[in-house]
Amino acid sequence: MIVGTCKLRRVISVDKDIKAADEKQLIARACSDRAAFVQLYRSHYDAVFRYCVHRLFERQAAEDVTSKVFLKVVENIHSFKGTERQFSNWLYRIATNAVNNYLRKAARRNRLLKLAREQTNSQAADCGESAEKLALLREAVFTLRPRYQTIITLRFFENLKLTEIAEVLGSGPGTVRSQLARALANLRKKLAADFTDFTDEINQGELK
């Protein structure tokens, strides 16, 4: 059984290495090969769109911003130099800038905040306690400053590590850790004691 498990782990490791190598080649080809870029686009679209939805709460707005993200990628992919993991973080960085630019217009921000509140009220009426808490959490996150929104979303919705978030934001992991702590403190104030479980990961040393 142990031998079989070790063999399975080696196969999984090899598969990951092959996938990483293929992705790296695809990124390089996408600079001049339209078909390669389309493949890259399809591979990463869902992740970028999901992140935009988590930041904006509205599908149409998220679709618009996601389109702008990949337009920016088309214009700048020739300048990207790095690994496939760094490429994913680069996409998050472009998406973060695109979302923040979208939210700079007060009218858009107020409309989306109103939508978040409407969703909160609707889910509170129609769903159970967990759904209500999630809706309240999303509304509370939306009221944070954009950088805190980014860190919270990348950590708890996209499951990025602190080192990866730091790469997305161009900051050090220590800075991101302290900003995450401040963002969580702000959320605790907004949500009272309902979401203190998020801070458990800090105490357990899991935010690495």
Question: At 87, which CATH number?
Answer: 1.10.1740.10
Report the domain count for the chain. 3
Same domain, 190 and 159: yes
Quote the domain boundaries for residue 85: 1-104
pTM: 0.77
Claim to verify: residue 131 and residue 159 sit in the same structural domain: no
Q: Are residues 132 and 194 in the same domain?
A: no
User: Lowest-confidence range among 113-117, 133-137, 156-160?
Assistant: 113-117
pLDDT of residue 176: 96
**32 and 73 both lie in a single domain:** yes
194 pLDDT above the threshold of 60? no
Domain match, 79 and 123 both: no
Instruction: Give per-residue pLDDT as tens, 14-51.
Output: 334 436 668 888 998 999 999 999 999 999 999 999 99
| Distance, CA of 180 to CA of 156 (rounded, Å) | 11
Asked if 5 and 96 sit in the same domain, the reply is yes
Do residues 150 and 58 both lie within one domain? no
CA nearest neighbour of 65 among 76, 54, 75: 54
The residue type at 197 = D
Q: pLDDT value at position 3?
A: 46
DSSP string of 42-97, one letter each residue: HHHHHHHHHHHHHHH--HHHHHHHHHHHHHHHHHHGGG--S-HHHHHHHHHHHHHH
DSSP summary character for residue 155: I
Tokens of 19: 């996938």
4 and 65 together in one domain: yes
Rounded average pLDDT over 148-165:
94
- Give the range among 81-90, 101-110, 124-133 with minimum mean pLDDT: 124-133
Q: What is the CATH number of the domain that holds 165?
A: 1.10.10
